[in-house]
Amino acid sequence: MAVIPTFDEANLQAISDILGATDTGLTGSEIGRSLHECGFPDPLPQMTKRHRLYAALAEKQNSDRCANSILNFISHVMNPVRHVGSRDYFETERGKLNSVLAFSGLSLGEDGKLRAVTTARTLTQAEATASALRKALVERRVHADVLKFCRAELLVDNYFHAVFEAAKSVAEKLRQKTGLGSDGSQLVDEALGIGKAGCPRLAFNTLTTESERNEHSGLMNLIKGLFGAFRNTTAHAPKIHWNVTEQDALDILTTISLVHRRLDTAVRTHIP
C-alpha cells in the first residue's frame, strides 16, 4: 500500500468514537487484543474505550508519520470473518466508518478491505445524494418509515445501506404488532401464516373470501421476497458484490413503503 497521509485529529477522534462507542463499539478486551495484534501501543488502558483508542491510534500515527497502520487496524477489526452471525452490526459499523473515511478518499468494502474513492470535501456531496433520493421518494409519497433511511451517512458508500436498513424496519414493525421475537422468514410465517387454525396472528383483511385470502398470502410472500432478495442476500456471505443503483433503491424503497402501509392497517387477531 502506498503511504497514506496522516489523519487529522477530527478524523482520528471520529474513528475512535465509532469503534469505541459505549453500546455498539468493541469491548475493552477486544480493543486490548486488537491493539496488541496490530503492534499498537496501549498507553491509556484504564481510560474509557474511545479515549483509549484515540490515544493508541494517535501515538502510532505520530510514530509512523502516516496513516497506514490506522487503516490496517480498521481492516483488522472489521475483517468480515470476525462478524459472522452479526451482519447487521458489521454493515452498520461499516457505514459509520465510511462516512468518516470518505473525507480521506477511502471506503471500507464488504470484504473488509479499503479502496480509493472520490474524496468528499464536505457532507454536502453525501447530503446531496440523500436529498435527491428523498425528494424522489417524497414525490412518490412513500411511507414516513422509509424516508428516515435516506440519510447521508447511509449513502456515503452506496444505496445498499438505505435498502438494507429499510428492509429491517419491516421486520421490526412485524415484531411490534405481534409481540413475536423471531426474524426473517420464521417471523413472517409466525406473524402472517394462516396455519392449522385458519387464522394468522396478523391479518391484512377479513379473510372471508378466496380473493381476500389470496391477497393476504400474496402480501405475505412479498414480504418474504423482500427479506430474501434485499436483506438475507448478504446475511451469510463474507463477501458479496451487490451494486444497488439509484433506480434500484427507488423501486425497492417504494415497494417497502407499500408493505409498511399495509402493515399499518393490518389487524391483530385472537391467535396468541
Query: What does the pLDDT look like over 62-76, one tens digit per residue?
Result: 999 999 999 999 999
Is the C-alpha dihedral spanning 64, 68, 73, 74 positive or negative?
positive
Tell me the helices (H) and strands (E) count for the chain, helix number first: 12, 4
Q: Return the pLDDT at 6.
A: 94
Q: What is the pTM of this model?
A: 0.56
How many CA within 13 A on the CB side of residue 242?
Answer: 19
- In total, the chain counts a number of residues equal to 272
Higher-confidence position of 244 and 176: 176
Distances (CA, A) of 113 to 5, 64, 76, 109, 139: 18, 21, 9, 5, 37
Cell numbers at 205, concatenated: 383483511
DSSP assigned state of 196:
T
Q: Return the pLDDT at 195.
A: 81
Q: Which of 6-20, 56-70, 106-120, 214-228 has the lowest mean pLDDT?
A: 106-120
> In the beta sheet, which residues pair with residue 107?
115
Query: At residue 126, does pLDDT exceed 80?
Result: no
Q: Return the pLDDT at 23.
A: 85
Please compute the mean of the pLDDT values over residues 47-76 and round it to a whole number. Answer: 96
Query: At residue 49, does pLDDT exceed 50?
Result: yes
Q: Return the pLDDT at 131.
A: 65
Q: What are phi and psi of 171, to 5 degrees?
A: -60, -40
- Residue 197 CA to chain centroid, in angstroms? 36
CA distance 56 to 260: 45
Query: At residue 47, does pLDDT exceed 90?
Result: yes
Query: At residue 132, does pLDDT exceed 80?
Result: no
Find the angle CA(37)-CA(66)-CA(50) to the nearest 5 degrees.
55
% of the chain with per-residue pLDDT over 70? 87
Helix axes 68-77, 49-64, angle to 10 degrees: 140
Instruction: Specify the amino acid at residue 103.
Output: F
Higher-confidence position of 236 and 23: 23
Q: Are 93 and 82 in contact (CB under 8 A)?
A: no
Please compute the mean of the pLDDT values over residues 2-21 and round it to a whole number. Answer: 92
Cell numbers at 149, concatenated: 433511511
In 3-state terms, what secondary structure has residue 253?
helix
Q: Are strands 114-116 and 202-203 parallel, antiparallel or unpaired?
A: unpaired
Sorted by sequence, the CB contacts under 8 Å of residue 129 that are 6+ apart come out as 152, 155
Q: Return the pLDDT at 232.
A: 59
% of the chain with per-residue pLDDT over 90? 53
